Amino acid sequence: MARPADVAGNSENLEPKPASASAVAAPKGGAYTWFDDRVGFARLGKHNLRKVFPDHWSFLLGEIVLYSFIVLLLTGIFLTIWFKPSMAEVEYHGSYPLMRGIPMSEAFASTLALSFDIRGGLLVRQVHHWAAILFIAGGVAHMLRVFFTGAFRKPREINWLIGVGLMALSLIEGFAGYSLPDDLLSGTGLRFADGLIRSIPLIGTWAEFFIFDGEFPGTAIIPRLYMAHILLIPAILLGLVAAHMSLIVYHKHTQYPGPGRTETNVVGFPLFPVYMAKAGGFFFVVFGVSVLMGALMQINPVWKYGPYNPAQVTAGSQPDWYMGWVEGAIRIIPNWESHIGSTTWSWQIFLPGVGLMGILFTGLALWPFIEQWITGDKSEHHLLDRPRNAPTRTALGVAGMTWYAMFWLGGANDIIATHFSVSLNAISWFLRFAVIFAPVVAFLITKRICLSLQRRDAERVLHGSESGIIERSPEGAYSEAHVPVDVDEAYTLTQHKQYDMVEAGDEGVGQWRARGSKFLVGDEIAKPTAEEIEESHHHGDDEVPSLPAH
C-alpha cells in the first residue's frame, strides 16, 4: 500500500471550512428524502465519510480494544442466557461425572452446564475470557502508546481522562466476571478482595457487610456482581467508549511527524472506502484470533477447582495478569499493623492494595496537567512525539512498567519458588529491594538510550549517513564517506518541538516548576538549527539539504 504522504488529495486541513448547500444536498427520492429531511443523514455522511485518518500500525492497538469489546458483548449475550447468578445450594447431577452428587451453588452448576451440556458453551466461555484479557491488554498497550508519544496533550486531556476511567472500570469489570462462576479459584480471589475492603481504616468492616450483605461470603455477592458485570459497568463503558470515539473525530486523529504533516492538517486515507474496508477486515481478524484462542488454548477450567468452600483455598492460585501486581504488592510488603484504641489498622494490606491503585490512576490522570504546567506549553498538539525526543517522559514510562513488573512477579513468588527450587523468603526479600531500585535503573538506562538516539539524529542531519565506503587519503588515513540524508528524512528528524529550561524567578516561575523543568528537559540534546545545518553544508564535498527554521 502506498504511503499516505505520497497520495495526492489525502490531506485534510484542520481549519473549519463552510459547507455549501449544493455540496451537502441529499439525493431526491421518496421515502429516503422524507427520512433525510428529518434526521439529516446525507449532510452528516457527506461531511464524515471522507474524513481523513493517518496510517500507522500503532493506531491498531486502539482498534483491538474496540473490537475485543464487541466480541465480549456478543459472547456475553450468549452466556447470559444460560448462566444462573444464584448462590443457592444445589446438588450437581450434570454430565461431568467427577462432580455428581457434590453440593454447589447454582452459579457453579450452571457454569458446568455451559461447559459440558450446552452446545458450543465451553467455546463461547473461553472466547469470552480470552477476549476480556485481550481487551485489557490492548487497552494497556494503547495507553502506553498515547503516553510515550504525547498524544494526551492539549486538546486531548479530556480524552486521556476518559481512557484512564475506561482502564479502571475494565479492571473492575474483569474481576467481576472472573468471580461469577463461584469456583474455588475465583472464591479465593473474592476472599482477597474482602481483605482489601476490610483493611480500609474505620469503615472497612461496615463496607464489607454492605457489599457482601453480611459476613463473607454471604449469599448476595454473586447476584450483585452479575448485575454490575452485565448491566451497570458495560453501560458506563459503552458511554465512555462513545465519548472517546466522538472526541477522536472532533479533534481529528494525531499523526506521526513526516513530510507534509503539520499541526494543522491530517495526511492519510479517507474513512470511506479505505478505512471502512480495513476496519471491517481487522475486526474479523480480531474475532478470528479470539475464537482460535478459545478453541485451542484452555483457560479457567473450573471443573478442576471445584465449587467454592470458605474453609479451603486453591494451592498456587494466581489471578488474571491485570490484578496480579496488586496481589504481589501485598505478598512482598513486610507486616505493618497499628492498634489505635479498639481499632486495628492493617497498613500491609491497605497501602499496597488500595493505596497503590490510587497512586497509579491518580498519577496517570494528573500527568498531562503536570507536564503542561512544567513546560508552560498551552498550544495545541496534533503531531506526535517520537519517544526519544521526550527522554524524561519515556524514561518515566519505562520505570513505571518496571515497577509494575516487580509487583507482578511478587504475585507469583510461590510459583517461582516451587518451579525453580528457590527460597520463597529470598524471592520476597529480593523483590522488596528490586521494587525500589529496578525502576531507578530502568529510568537511567532508558534516558541515556533516548539521549544517545537524539545525538545520533542530530549527527545524521548535520553530517549525513554512513555510505559503507572506506576511503584512503594520500597521507594513508582511512575514513568513511558520508552521504547527505534526503530532505524528507531531515525534516522528520528535526520537526519536534523543544522546550527551554526555566529558572526560578523568571516571570513568576517558582522553585518547584524550575526543578521540574530541569528534570524534564534539562538534559535534552538540542536539535540542529537552520544556521547549523547551513554551516554544515560547507564542511565537506557532500551537500546536505537545507531545512526551514523551526
Grid cell at residue 174: 474483569
What is the sign, positive or negative, of the torsion defined by CA atoms of 134, 139, 144, 146? Answer: positive
14 near 252, Cβ under 8 Å?
yes
User: For 32-91, how does the pLDDT look when each residue is reduced to its tens digit (9 = 90+)?
Assistant: 777 777 777 777 676 677 788 898 899 999 999 999 999 999 999 999 999 999 999 999
3-state secondary structure of 430: helix
Q: What is the pTM of this model?
A: 0.87
One-letter identity of residue 414: D
pLDDT < 50 regions, the chain = 1-9, 16-27, 541-550
517 near 374, Cβ under 8 Å?
yes
Query: What is the model's pLDDT at position 468?
Result: 79
- Rounded CA gap, 374 and 521, in Å? 9
What are the structural domains, with CATH classification, of the chain?
48-369 (1.20.810.10), 385-470+477-537 (no CATH)
Report phi then psi at 224, rounded to 5.
Answer: -70, -40
Grid cell at residue 238: 459503552
- Rounded CA gap, 30 and 518, in Å? 67
Query: What is the model's pLDDT at position 519?
Result: 92
Please state, in angstroms and as integers, the Cα–Cα distance from residue 360 to each residue in 156, 165, 322, 401, following that order.
Answer: 20, 12, 13, 11
Length of the chain: 550
Query: What is the model's pLDDT at position 480?
Result: 77
- Rounded CA gap, 295 and 123, in Å? 6
Where b means 16+ CB within 10 Å and e means fewer, 515-539 reads: ebbeebbeebbebbeeeebeebeee
- Rounded CA gap, 459 and 465, in Å? 9
E runs forming strands in 379-491: 465-472, 478-483
Grid cell at residue 117: 451440556
Please state, in angstroms and as integers, the Cα–Cα distance from residue 114 to each residue in 51, 72, 107, 134, 306, following that order.
Answer: 44, 16, 11, 22, 15
Q: What is the largest CA-CA distance in the chain?
A: 95
- Rounded CA gap, 25 and 251, in Å? 25
